Structure 1
Amino acid sequence: MISTNDFSTGITIELDGELYKVIDYEHTKPGKGGAYIQTELKNVDTGSTTTKRFKSGEKVKQAYIETRTYQYLYRDGDKYVFMDNDTYEQVDLTKDKLGAATKYLKENQEIKLEVYEEKIIGVQVPNSVELVVASAPPAIKGDTVSGGTKQVELETGAKVKVPLFIEEGDILKIDTRSGEYIERVN
């Protein structure tokens, strides 16, 4: 059990048999009445967000999330196949469960999966990944003066805006949190 006074962004709690991740919280002490914590919670299973008010000091069940290292093996239709690096067991995850992480998955890449009571509930991709440009429109002479951008497609199918000098075959460093171009890798 954890006190609502100890809430922090990112912790996972269990309410009414469902898991919620604390996205945001605010401790409020009004002039009249008792103090309370206003939270914004994200349902781990459905992805929906909700707001909930707790009394200050109220106890809730904290969900202890284990992080395990898995290796992404391959995509099989709508499923993404991963292998546990410790037990060598393979698990299939759908695009719905992985969310935006599918844009940054390369075969044989190691990523961390969040596990609660032997059930995979989330994925943690690295903050940045290096991906090859699969296709890029050519830069037209004269366009580079203004420092413009163009959209390219990466090896994973993700599309990202990059400077005009980027060409097909270049390796780019991409921020997985924002989906933005960071730099070209030599």
Structure 2
Amino acid sequence: MLTCEEEASLLSSLQFAPEDGWISSFYSCLIKKYDKENVVEAKFRELEQESCNVKPSEQSFICALKDNTDLLACKAEYYHQCGEYQKCFELTSVLLEKDPFHMKCTLVHLAAAMELGHSNELYLMACNLVKDYPQKALSWFAVGCYYYCIKKYDQSRRYFSKTTNLDGTFPPAWIGYGNAYAAQEEGDQAMSAYRTAARLFPG
């Protein structure tokens, strides 16, 4: 997995034709978003403005791009990183109505719901995910999020552990694992989990 700097360097090394400027804007929105807020927001605005300045023959494609669920999921992820959890939750809720199988959006939705304390939403999401995708790490991560949200930290650790057993390279589960330990003031175990997450998720 590339670091933030490596992603930016790779993108800047690519050559785009003038008429393909939207591709550069699109990828700029998809890479990790640790720039200043005004820089990231400018990238999203640039892509939206690109949508308004195209030939009529290309308009339908660009309009579809503007409403692209992957792009909007990235915007939701950006809101989450900024601590705009309500905005994030509202956007992911709309996206999941359009595409209930969008896994990246589902992950961001779970994270926002947990931050907002929406335990009912987490419960419903967890039940549906476990029923539909019992072999996916994300499903059991959702269960862990629910138990964390209702402050049952032992149970949350159990399900975060199950998540890492299914997919040891799933950083959110390691972060959840660390948070659950930290909530019970078990600092050494928390730091161990955080270090694992940092190793898996550089940048």
Q: TM-score, normalised by structure 2?
A: 0.24
Structure number having the greater strand percentage: 1
Q: TM-score, normalised by structure 1?
A: 0.25
